[in-house]
A and B are shown apart, each in its own frame.
Chain A
């Protein structure tokens, strides 16, 4: 029973982690809480739905294309809504992000309507695999596998490529990085592109897992992923992964223990509890404030 729930939790948590990565990378570089990120996740799910239902594509191809759509969207949103505000107060950028979020969710509501849509049944063959007393479905394996693959690729990009080095430099010190010849605008666009593509993948996976895609799925998922990013220590990439998986597991275990009506509170209770004792999150670095 416990192992079963643990597997369910890891599957759910991997998707939280995929969204949380976008939050944490953007925050690490421009200190913006990108509240439109949850909506990008939602648009990703809808894009894949359109590719599967209308263009009759294979789900994997649809997922890659949905990631491409969101990648582009992330870059465009940054260019229109955040770049002009880079030198203004951070709250102005936050409100701008909220504006984008309202815009996107309303747009999807107008196009697709208010009721939840589902992927067709045959989109991915679901087989149950028995491991001891626990059962793991091929879908859960897919979610965990794809999430792990994407996160490993991200680690590779951040630590072993030139643009990744530029990302790390920019997040350490924006001004100095610019002075050293790093094209910070390009780095920021690239960060938004990566984060949005990961969120889109998360959206598609959740869409298949729960077989429901709706215009308001981004809000709660976005908030929980943000909580996961902060739990792990905002700005820290391994922190976002750890935070996401941890929140997913605790949430599923909490529901299994009979607190299902408190489902949405569990993630935040953990978050607040951890922040009380470790104010910068689990893997966050303590910032020495200077006068």
Chain B
């Protein structure tokens, strides 16, 4: 009943714009997860797409083999990705800086090759994923998940846990001295990041309806990283903006046809040169909103994102 009503609502939107809109939603989910790991905790991950692929294949296979309700399916995909996050994070989060980055990249490549050789993922042919078993249309599902993930990320960042993660980013040794179990917190952040990537992957699989392990390679991980850094590391509005812009950009640049990736590459370089801390890095959206409304902002108590030092934090 409600499903039918929502279906009609979704059908009102032009299919092309709907597709961009849904892709933006999925990108936001992925970017927010990576933002927690790389932006907030300061652990550079170059293999975020691997967790997305785990979510995509878990979701796709559950729908194909069992036809379970989509909500159960979505949660299972997230949990499966989080499980792999812990499994991979446990040994490699002891590594620091760029050694961690290359290890995440390495694991992602290994996983991709393994998925390309498994029977259950249909090897290099990929899987066709049928329609999800849910009355609610998928675009609405995607954006509900986006809202939930944004809310969860705001809660996490302003909690004791979030402050601990930021302390790890600022200075790992000092954080450890203050009694923060850095390895445990890093693994937890990694697992949450992987969970959201799993959600994003599951939604992606059902929306695109076809998944192939090769789609989740290094370039995909880099795309997500671009969104986070371009938006501004550690900033939730920044990740949302970065994901929206970079997902929409290739569409807006479509009139340039063959030259659009050329422009995209040059644009990345110039955006970084002119806004090295990202579009919203070091900008407090809260203060901007208050200023626009003419209210004097309340000073924040926590280690907030309004300092000019933002860009120097991730080492």
Instruction: Please give the residue numbers on chain A whose beta carbons come within 8 Å of chain B beta carbons, in ascending order.
Output: 27, 31, 33, 35, 80-81, 84-85, 88-96, 98-104, 106-107, 110, 219, 223, 226-227, 230, 234, 261-265, 268-269, 271-272, 275-276, 279-281, 289, 291
Contacts and interface: CB of A to CB of B under 8 A. Distances in A.
Contacts of B261: 102, 106
A264 B113 contact: yes
B21 to A, nearest CB: 25
Interface residues of B, number: 54
B218 interface: yes
A89 B110 contact: no
Chain B: interface secondary structure?
A: helix
Nearest to A96: B272
Contacts of B314: 89-91
Which 3 A/B pairs are nearest by Cβ-Cβ distance?
A99-B268, A103-B265, A102-B265
Interface stretch (B52-60, B101-109, B145-153): B101-109
Given A219-B218, A275-B92, A227 B102 contact: yes
Given A227-B102, A268-B107, A276-B92, 20 more contacts: A85-B272, A89-B233, A89-B314, A90-B314, A92-B272, A92-B311, A95-B229, A96-B272, A98-B226, A99-B264, A102-B261, A234-B99, A262-B114, A265-B109, A268-B105, A268-B106, A271-B103, A272-B103, A279-B99, A289-B173
Nearest to A263: B113
B315 interface: yes
A96 B272 CA distance: 6
B227 to A, nearest CB: 10
B75 to A, nearest CB: 29
B117 interface: yes
B293 interface: no
Contacts of B9: none
Nearest to B270: A99
A280 B273 contact: no
B103 A275 contact: yes
